[in-house]
Amino acid sequence: MEEKDFNIEENNEETQESENIVEETSADVSQNKKSFKKELLEWVQAIVIAVVLALVIRSFVFTVVRVDGQSMEPTLQHNDRMIVWRLGYEPERDDIVIFNPPGYEKNVYWIKRVIATEGQHVEIDYARNSVYVDGEKIDEPYLGEEMRALAHLPITEIDVPEDCVFVLGDNRNHSTDGRVIGPVSEDRIVGKAVVRFWPFGGIESY
């Protein structure tokens, strides 16, 4: 009888140990769930912060654009990728800028070269293949061919208003630019093209 009683006590101890193991396992599962939820929350927070930072950088610091068309050849080619600087940008002559042209929807953007800024007088002389700013001929080594006077490009002389710029494409005979749309308000300018990074073999700064 004593031996039997001893076995019963021993079995009771084993049962207690099993219950303890079950309790510990349940606690571990609960802890793991809490850890997983905490880690998931941290990942979500990190992703949200990254997205917000990306939007802020794109909106206020710089953005990336793709050149569409031939109006800036030979300087820029169709499908070139450019980094455009936005933060604190103020346009200067000879800058290559991205802007929303007047008379077009807000999601339409052009890329052209600044020829003159506010207060300057621009004259386009097709006979001499020259552009004059305030009476002085500007140097334009980027032109690929002589300019032709075309009927759809009516503006040949203009005074640039305050807070505006006058822009032309480098491919003058195949570019719709300031000769059609007139001056461009500075608040329509997205920024200045600073680096062409694609194609990789043609990386160049401006």
Would you name the residues annotated as active-site residues? 71, 112
- Give the integer Cα–Cα distance in Å for 143 and 163: 27
Q: Which residues pair with 184 in a beta bridge?
A: 165
**Three-state secondary structure call for residue 14:** helix
CB-hemisphere CA count at 13 Å for 156? 14
Distance CA 172, CA 10 (A): 99
DSSP 174-188: G--SHHHH--EEGGG
| Tokens at 185, concatenated | 């308000």
Residue type, 116: A
Strand ordering across the sheet containing 130-133? 136-137, 130-133, 121-125, 157-159
